[in-house]
Structure 1
Amino acid sequence: MDVKQTEKIVIYTTRLCPYCMAARRLLDSLELTYENIAVDGNRELRQHMEAISGSHTVPQIWVGDTHVGGYTELAQLHNAGRLETLLQGKGPDA
């Protein structure tokens, strides 16, 4: 994927979560940079993630200020060709 990434990607994960691994593999395959925040054993980080996402499941993924959701939603954006526009700060529906 040859895209100019202007938006920061943040992904909350746990070490052994298969969906977290799949999300990181997808981002890595697209050669995108991201901040991985591991919430394993860190109650405060996990509570923060839950508070800002409204969900207790991982992964939780943000592109810029947009909460993407989990791996399924990330893959759907990518497959629909909308991840590139989101990475450029144009919003998921641009």
Structure 2
Amino acid sequence: MNILVFNLSVNIIGSDLVQLFSAYGEVSYAAVVRDKISGRSKGSAFLEMPHEAEAEQAILALNRMLLDGKKIVVQEVAYKPGEFNN
């Protein structure tokens, strides 16, 4: 399942998210969205958890939790391959 995390502190890196979400199951991918020019975090990240039940547990448990002083928003991304290719 693809997961989107919003409202991240600029101090959070991908390995922080892997550690956090791994408490609920396997994380196969995690990347913080960064500005192309400055390299600074844009405050969001994408994750992938291959097991749907584990991902759903993580979303329920972590949505609206306080992480590094900010209340994060965690939700499933309904993405289909090729959906954004026009």
Whether these two folds match at TM > 0.5 is no
Q: TM-score, normalised by structure 1?
A: 0.30
Structure with the larger helix share = 1
Q: TM-score, normalised by structure 2?
A: 0.31
- Whose RCO is larger (CA < 8 A, sep 6+)? 2
Structure with the larger strand share = 2
